[in-house]
Amino acid sequence: MLAYPGDVTNADELTVAVNSFAATQDGLELMVNNAGVAGSGTLMEVSLEDWRWIVDINFMGVVHGARAAIPHLQRNGAGLIINVASAAAFAALPTILAGSPIASRTPLGTGVAARHVAIISCCRDGSSRPCGRRLDRTPA
């Protein structure tokens, strides 16, 4: 197994990791954004520092991963980005701060579908069935 370490909160570092992978693996066809964290406490109990940590990983990590991957996928003429979130992204408990609802509902696919790159957001809800939606198409 090969490792290409990169901090999802650091766009430059993650881009270097994705570029290194693509260079050594003859391109990139699939990007899976799967980093995520959660905090515990109510809105006012959780420090702003902890909120920033959650948003930087759960939201900006997805943005950084997609931006690092899209040039490679477009160069190939096709590709897939999968954004994984926990079920907490869609039905959080009052004292569990997932921060993922923002990333899972962000239209990252805008302007990418025309270049044959699909973006899918999905989650697991505790059962074996996947749930999610494609973000690469403009709503009808």
For the question of whether the overall pTM of this predicted structure is more than 0.85, the answer is no
pLDDT at 133: 42
Enumerate the β-bridge partners of residue 132. 122
All domains of the chain in start order, with CATH? 11-22+29-134 (3.40.50.720)
Q: What is the token pair recorded at 34?
A: 């799967």
CA distance 15 to 68: 5
CA distance 89 to 105: 9
CA distance 111 to 17: 24
Per-residue pLDDT of the chain (140 residues), as tens digits, is: 788 988 999 999 999 999 999 999 999 999 999 888 887 888 888 899 998 998 899 889 999 999 999 999 999 888 899 888 766 655 555 666 555 444 444 445 555 554 566 776 666 554 444 444 444 443 33
